Structure 1
Amino acid sequence: MKKTIVLGVIGADCHAVGNKILEHAFTQAGFNVINIGVLSPQEDFINAAIETNAEAILVSSLYGHGEIDCRGLREKCDEAGLKDILLYVGGNLVVGKQDWNSVEQRFKDMGFNRVYPPGTSPDTAINDLKHDLGVE
């Protein structure tokens, strides 16, 4: 049984190329990918996850405002009945040079299960997702 994931670029970000690369990589890895595209508000991720019974939401952000765009997503997921959904985020999540450990911790404090720095290989997230979903 294929696991379904929702993939998209949050907020006012229009970086489409990386999103397409991720869609291809996760599809090739055997996931059913629901790609909601770019410029996506939190509600679009949540609605897509509900409609498709997804196991995970993968949020991409490359323009530096991911921290603002992602704030409150876990709470909205919980309110929508998605308490157990996996939340992954990756990309250029903050503006400027900041200590990655503190950036990662801030996103984990926001309820994200996995947080990826810029330049992370899709294989890393694919392996983590398979592990977290128990589909080794």
Structure 2
Amino acid sequence: MEKKTLVIGVIGADVHAIGNKILYHCFVEAGFNVINLGVMVSQEEYVEAAIESNADAILVSSLYGHGEIDCRGLRERCEEWGLRNILLYVGGNIVVGKQPFEEVEKRFKQMGFDRVFPPGTDPDATIACLKQDLKLGEENASSFTN
């Protein structure tokens, strides 16, 4: 089975690199092809990388609290550039201040994100969601992972 391709990075002016590197290694170990854009990634860079790599998903991280601002319009940008069905995930400390996660999740889903993950989400939970959303069933799991 061909590996699914993910584009990951930390959006906006955020320079938090450690979590991004951990996610990269976890996703690679789980059998994904991962394009890691690093930190301070613009929406355009995500979309361009997804087009160039024929990605199956874009995973946006943010830890500095301004993810909500940085992510506005990303779904629309994807659609404008022909990525109508790409999976969009976002996670981390994506809003300023303490806000109920249910409200945050609702706002991000209204912005077109398929999955929204709170701070401290275990990478295995994200991997499980990716496998579900990319329809990588148990019968394919052994051929998917290395």
Instruction: Tell me the TM-score normalized by structure 2.
Output: 0.93
Q: CA–CA distance in 1 between the matches of 2:48 and 2:136?
A: 25
Where in structure 1 are there 5+ consecutive unaligned residues? none
User: Aligned to 1:40, what secondary structure does the other structure show?
Assistant: coil
Q: How large is the RMSD of aligned CA atoms in angstroms?
A: 0.4
User: Which residue does 1:9 correspond to in 2?
Assistant: 10
Deviations 1:114-134 (A, max 9, x none): 000000000001000000001
Instruction: Name the structure 2 match of 1:31.
Output: 32
Q: What is the alpha-carbon distance in structure 2 between the residues aligned to residue 103 and residue 131 of structure 1? A: 22
Amino acid at match of 1:79: E
Query: Is the aligned partner of 1:53 residue 2:54?
Result: yes
In the TM superposition, structure 1's runs of 4+ consecutive aligned residues that sit over 2 Å from their partners are none
Q: Percent identity?
A: 69
Q: In structure 2, how many angstroms separate the alpha carbons of the residues matched to 1:32 and 1:108?
A: 25
Unaligned runs of 5+ in 2: 138-146
Amino acid aligned to 2:10: V
Q: CA deviation at 1:99?
A: 1.1
- SS class of match (1:95): coil
For the residue of structure 1 that corresponds to 2:38, the secondary structure is strand
Provide Cα deviations, 1:69-103, integer angstroms capped at 9, x if missing partner: 00000000000000000000000011111111000
1:111 counterpart letter in structure 2: G
Counterpart residue number, 1:96: 97
Show the counterpart of 1:78. 79
Aligned length: 136
1:135: Cα distance to partner? 1.0
Q: Which has the higher strand share?
A: 1
Q: Residue 129 of structure 2 corresponds to which residue in structure 1?
A: 128
- Whole-Å separation in 1 of the counterparts to 2:91 and 2:50: 18
Using the alignment, how far apart are the partners of 1:90 and 1:47 within structure 2? 21
Choose 1 or 2 for highest CA Rg.
2
Alignment partner, residue 142 of structure 2: none
Q: TM-score, normalised by structure 1?
A: 0.99
